[in-house]
Amino acid sequence: MTARGRALVFGDDTRSFLTIVRSLGRKRIEVHAAPADFTSPALASRYLRALHRLPPYLGDGTDWCEAVAALLRREPFDLVIPCDERSILPFDLHRHRFADLTRVAVPDPTSLEVLFDKAQTRELAALCDVPVAPGRRITAGANGNQLIAEFGLPLVLKPCCSFRLDALHARARVEICEREEALSKALANIADSPTLVEGYFVGQGVGISILASRGRVLQAFQHRRARERGGAGFYRVSQPLAPDLLAAVERMTAAITFTGVAMFEFKMAPPPGGWILLEVNARPWGSMPLAVALGVDFPYRWYQLLVGGEETPSVTYRPGVFGRNLMQDARQILAEARDLRSNPRAMIRRLFAAGSEFGRLLIGREHLDVLVSDDPHPGLLEFHREGGAAASHLLLRAPGSRLLLGQRDRRLVRRIMTGRHRGHATVAMLCQGNVCRSPVAAESLRRHLAGRAPGLTVVSAGMLPREGARSPQAAILAARKLGIDLTTHRSTYLSDESADNAILVVVFDRRNLDDLHARNPALLKKTVMLGSFLDGRGAQCEILDPDGADLATFERTYAAIAVAVQDLAAAIMLHAPE
């Protein structure tokens, strides 16, 4: 069938991203994706036409902007949809660069500034007579005892912004502090980041999702979290719209003349209690699959609004229908069961109750987010991926795993080195942030190979998309004992060019392997784990990240790195061409 339009979606998750891909694809929109994780099950969707590899946003964003602009000139799209802050914030800052190339589905600058900053969202709520939890902004050095006296315990510490443009790799976390000690620790970590403190409101999570045009709500959908743990919920149920909540949403939407999609998150106390607004997600949200499954097609109607200017009429939906993100919800069920280990009967009852919920699938009162009949591959691949990750986790910790992994990695080094031609070649030491492990390992390997492997260069880099970070003080002190100076070291991101040019990539733990695999699965064929060269002189194959630990932990980590590097160097020199 002929495509009715073209859209480029930034993301790769199995919740909002996959829902948008399916929604547009079912309407014969040609959908392309710009993912970060190229192994994501969502990319197996039958509704995806093409994938595009783009660099991460670093520094002033020059490389990212040029790559995106080049793609938009080469592949014209009617609409670009960034699914989360990692792409929304760059598009907001550089929206002028793309104004002549395409439409970008991000809120206007004023709405984005207000709704992406929780403090400003609270101020907007106050102007619109929408209740929020008691709270205020705080800064570094805030007095915990004073906050407890003011708001009581538990206390909630919220970063004003979940992401910062200069640190898009790291999501700032919300901390729920039930005790004074936890509050003191959390306050010590806020540094200079703008932060909110709020009193804890006991209640159940309720969301109202909307599509709005110039401040008018065109469509609304309400859900309640059927299960909630640690502030997150992956099992939810559709509800009739509560008039007071909807009125609050309409007032806030009108106040900033908002256009786009958003989910307003509330907490409702048990009757006869009240309710408060928690925050607003002015972007695609994780619970969107349930709305779409019930005929409230937010993504396609958003596309119609932004591309064609069509303000589609509101539709009704069926309340009392459940939606489940199966893998995430299963983790919550198992966590709840583990909490009841001391009471086996209660644990069995909890598991039985959770299992009985699946009966709703048989009577049409439940939908799964990922596994759907017209596009089953993402759901099936998600099962396969979870099983593979569990098997790999067990394998790395199984008796004899170091011996088997060491044999495999030594064979790989022999094959790479014997097949290498004379001339320049690179070995890349790769850890998460390139501030603790990889710079020490790289310098140690350089020293072992000096004068013994002509043309072989050793570099270090990190998987986190950041550059210029300093090594922590404990790393500097521990490295100094090995004669290595980290005072001038600054982190470097592993570029695609560096990764492709390396003949051998050395990583430290399972997370490094997973991140490398997600970014470029082909790189695994030339990747070894440094800990496999310890020849049984350690408890496991991984050399874990000591970042944030004490000096003694760094010293133990660097001692293991030194031994493993010595054996790796011997394997390289044994097979390196003369």
Query: Domains of the chain: which residue ranges?
Result: 5-106, 134-199, 398-575
Q: What is 244-265 written as a DSSP string?
A: HHHHHHHHHHHHTT--EEEEEE
Confidence of residue 391 (pLDDT cuts 50, 70, 90): low
Q: What is the pLDDT of residue 404?
A: 76
Residue reference for tokens 């489940």: 324
CA dist., res. 262 & res. 274, Å (int): 23
Using the 8-state DSSP alphabet, how is residue 431 labeled? Answer: E
Determine the pLDDT at residue 263: 98
pLDDT at residue number 187: 87
Read off the pLDDT of each residue in 15-21 and give the average, rounded to a whole number. 97
Per-residue pLDDT at 402? 66
Per DSSP, the three-state class of 191 is: coil
The mean pLDDT of the chain is 91
From CA 181, how far away is CA 254, in angstroms rounded? Answer: 42
Question: pLDDT for 138-177, tens place per residue?
Answer: 887 788 899 999 999 999 999 999 888 888 888 888 889 9
CATH number of the domain located at residue range(s) 134-199 in this protein: 3.30.1490.20
Give the pLDDT of residue 100.
94
Q: Which fold has domain 398-575?
A: Rossmann fold (3.40.50)
* Topology match between the domains 5-106 and 134-199: no
Tokens linked to 453: 């492997």
Q: Which residue has the higher pLDDT, 264 or 192?
A: 264
Q: How confident is the model at residue 569 (pLDDT cuts 50, 70, 90)?
A: very high
Contact indicator for 287, 232 with CB cutoff of 8 Å: no
User: What are the b/e assignments for 531-567, b being 16+ CB within 10 Å?
Assistant: bbbbeeeeeebbbbbbbebeeeebbebbebbebbbeb
Measured in whole angstroms, the distance separating CA 282 from the mean position of its chain's CA atoms is: 17
Task: Kindly report whether the peptide bond that precedes residue 319 is cis, defined as omega within 30 degrees of 0.
Answer: no
Tell if the pTM clears 0.85, that is, is over it. Answer: yes
Q: How far is CA 128 from the centre of its chain?
A: 32
| Cα gap 219→297, rounded to integer Å | 10
Q: Highest mean pLDDT range out of 194-203, 471-480, 531-540?
A: 471-480
Contact indicator for 306, 24 with CB cutoff of 8 Å:
no
Q: Is the pLDDT reported for residue 1 higher than 60?
A: no
Burial of 462 (0-12, 13-18, 19+ CB in 10 A): buried
Most confident of 144-148, 245-249, 391-395, 460-464: 245-249
Task: Tell me whether the omega of the peptide bond preceding residue 76 falls within 30 degrees of 0, making it cis.
Answer: no
Cα separation, 223 vs 288, whole angstroms? 10
CATH classification (class only), 5-106:
alpha beta
Contact 259, 210 (CB under 8 A): no
**CB burial class (10 A; 0-12, 13-18, 19+) of residue 435?**
buried
Our CA angle for 160, 155, 244, nearest 5°, is 70
